[in-house]
Amino acid sequence: MNNYKFSGPTVSPNTYAGQFAGKYIAAALLSGETLAKDLITIHPNVAYKEVIRNWQNSVSIADATCDFTDSSSITLGEYVLTTTEKQVNLQLCKNQLRTTWEAAQAGFSAFEKLPADFNEFLLAQVAAEVAQAIELGIWTSTLFYNGTAAEGMIGYLLDNSAITRTASGATTGSNVVARLQDMLDYSPSALYGKEGYQFYVGPSTMKAYQAALSAGNYNFQFYVGEKPMNFQGIPVVMCPGLNDYDCVLGLKSDLHFGTGLLSDTNEVKVIDMSDIDGSQNVRVIMRFTGGIIASNVAQQVVLNVT
């Protein structure tokens, strides 16, 4: 029998700020599926605001002459992505993580690849929780947008005149194809085939779509294996932050998330309270910025399920 002896985890008071804090903030921000897989357009290093411009043009080809005759028009659009400061204040007892950390040290844990240093281990745990909250914030919570119709990107699209299709009741294997087809029918034809044109769905809708493909005996695989994540040739991407049944169809380049990953306003602190109040508590503090916006909202399609 091998015996392993560990001293209790020690936490040195650490403060990370500015660019150095960026790696910890990035771990939290970019661990969510939507950002980690680059499913929407990410704008890093936005200190406060960033102007997003798009342009629409109408080009006319005419017979050549010796003169210059303006036969085309360009319409410039401007969208302002505004980030707001967010913070995480968390207190937990070191003993709550001691066993898991020691198991990781010995290689007896599913978390064996986590950093050996307890500070890093602690921040990795917190970053995972923050990542989940940010994923929800992008799509359906009030973290970055508290709208009238809903919250998150879904709320922003609904509040700003996106093409809205409505349905009632759960999305299932028997109705998911019809719902996706309805969205596609109302999506502008000019977007079809463009890079980044895709369906954004939540886990429940993706599960229903996989069930529909299985029921249709896709490629004679019946119920075995994952089926292609596309509908009519259009990619279907899963964003865990989306609720059960709402979906979005549009261009990745029109859905934006901004953050100040290298901003001086970023800060991460780990404070061991044992020398302050004699407790075994550790406090973790994170400060960062984030914000969402959509451009060309009128060409995005939202399935709003009630």
Q: Where are the domains of the chain?
A: 14-62+70-141+257-289, 152-255+296-305
Distances (CA, A) of 240 to 33, 138, 213, 247: 7, 10, 21, 12
Selection from 149, 87, 104, 85 nearest residue 9 by Cα: 104
CA-to-CA distance for 293 and 37, rounded, in angstroms? 18
**What's the confidence (pLDDT) of residue 304?**
96
**What's the confidence (pLDDT) of residue 62?**
67
Tokens 């759960």 -> residue: 170
Pick the CATH number of 152-255+296-305 from 3.30.710.10, 3.30.2320.10, 3.20.20.220, 2.130.10.10: 3.30.2320.10
Q: What are the residue ranges in the chain where pLDDT is below 70? A: 1-20, 55-62, 70-77, 98-116, 216-227
CA-to-CA distance for 99 and 102, rounded, in angstroms? 5
Tokens 């500070």 -> residue: 119
Counting Cβ atoms within 10 Å, is residue 269 exposed (0-12), middle (13-18) or buried (19+)?
middle
CA atoms within 13 A on the CB side of 63: 0
Cβ atoms of 17 and 258 closer than 8 Å: no
**What's the confidence (pLDDT) of residue 255?**
97
Residue 200 φ/ψ, nearest 5 degrees? -110, 120
Q: How many CB atoms lie within 10 A of CB 216?
A: 12
